[in-house]
Amino acid sequence: MDQKFQVSNDHPQISLRVDGDLRLIGEDVLQVRVESSASDGMRISQSGGAMEITCRGDCWVTAPKNSDLRIEKVGGDGTVIGLHGPLTIEKIGGDVNLQDIRSVTVGGIGGELAAVELQGDLFVQKVGGDVAARNIQGEVQIGSVGGMLAMESVGGSVNAKVGGDISISLSSLVVKSYELRAGGELACRVPANSSIDVSLDCGSERMILRLPGMPEVVNARQYQARIGDGATKISLKAGGDIYLTSLPPETDEAAVAPTGMEADLEHLGEKIEQQVSAKFRLADFTSRLKTGLTEQTRSLSQRAVQRADRRIQNALQKINQKIFLPPAWPAPPVSPEAPVLGGTTAPIEETASSPSSSTRVTDDERLRILQMVENKKITVDEAEQLLETLEELGGEEEG
């Protein structure tokens, strides 16, 4: 089901309630386009410059990029890309992926949150899973995170309370205060030659500090220190170990090799760094695949899904043959009950989404691979290898 609505300006007020997944993209248009996987489950009302959208199934929306968007409820996952107007999220049950957003205020997220390229602030009350945020120009306030927090390049102040580990890199200290609370371990990196007033509270009584004038290892519950005039206050509290440095962990290897407890704490930095890298890699991969999907993919027929599954199975078999192993990767099932995302079973014409075109990996296949990654059936590395193999199979078919 596909509906288009002209709007009188480039910043309409839009509110959304979606039972399934939501994907919204902001564009330079003066219309709102709404598509749903439920043929009779969409209701849209307009009054002046305001629009209310209710959808029982999955929902895909294209709207003016300066729209004022309020997401009241999403039962599944939510993706918002390219929205430069204000964004308010009241409740999303699954994971949330935000990219190229002006600013956002979030009530509750049941799954994980990935936020990349925000021109303004990130205010979040509660996230049930992990949070990965990068290139946030404004302020960050997070009331509660059930998992871990990974954050890089924040322009404003940061205040966060996290149940798991925290890893944060502060590219510049342009504001007066940073306050972080972690139930697990905490790794914080600050610019070299920073002028800071540091207050540390460490539940494990094990800290490693790599800043001028500070001891490298502190075996105490609390520690305070000032560097320069202490213009910026940094308060860190962790149930586990604390790692505070002005250098990435890998550059510390040139120093004297750590032993004993210090080696233990060095391992903390490496472990969190690996977790952070994995989080950002997954967020980047997911965003890249979702952004590349065309509108045709939003209305896949059952036949298209089955064809994509067959090609993926062939690619998995080819990968397993290359590494001399029996087929072991979990391939998506090919069955008459394959999901119909667009509510149509019309015959498929040869288009940019067909294997015989110049795009060797079709949108159908990208969507299925994305689902396998999000369902944790394969890793990002395996997905990248699968995409490469599908490219090879496309070349063979064309030849």
Distance CA 1, CA 372 (A): 26
Of the pLDDT bands very low, low, confident and very high (cuts 50, 70, 90), residue 273 is low
pTM of the model: 0.68
Identify any residues that bridge with 16 across adjacent strands, giving them in sequence order.
53, 71
Distance CA 113, CA 119 (A): 17
Encode pLDDT of 189-219 as tens digits: 888 878 889 999 999 999 989 888 888 889 9
Identify any residues that bridge with 169 across adjacent strands, giving them in sequence order.
152, 189
Report the range of poorest mean pLDDT among 138-152, 205-219, 222-236, 302-316. Answer: 302-316
CA distances from 291 to 100, 286, 367 (A): 12, 9, 11
Distance CA 15, CA 134 (A): 27
Report the range of poorest mean pLDDT among 106-115, 116-125, 144-153, 289-298. Answer: 289-298
Q: Is pLDDT at 356 greater than 50 in this prediction? A: no
pLDDT at res. 40: 73
pLDDT at res. 66: 92
For the chain, the structural domain boundaries read: 137-275, 293-398
**DSSP labels, 196-228:** EEEEEEETTS-EEEESTTS-SEE-SSEEEEEET
Distance CA 22, CA 125 (A): 20
Q: Is pLDDT at 303 greater than 70 in this prediction? A: no
pLDDT at res. 86: 93
Bigger pLDDT: 150 vs 174: 150
Length of the chain as a residue count? 399
Q: Which residue, chain included where needed, has tokens 């394969």?
A: 378
Rg, Å, the chain Cα set? 24
Among candidates 289, 271, 287, 288, which has minimal Cα distance to 150?
A: 271
Of the pLDDT bands very low, low, confident and very high (cuts 50, 70, 90), residue 289 is low
Of the pLDDT bands very low, low, confident and very high (cuts 50, 70, 90), residue 154 is confident
Distance CA 249, CA 383 (A): 28
Q: For the chain, give me the number of helices (H) and strands (E)?
A: 4, 25
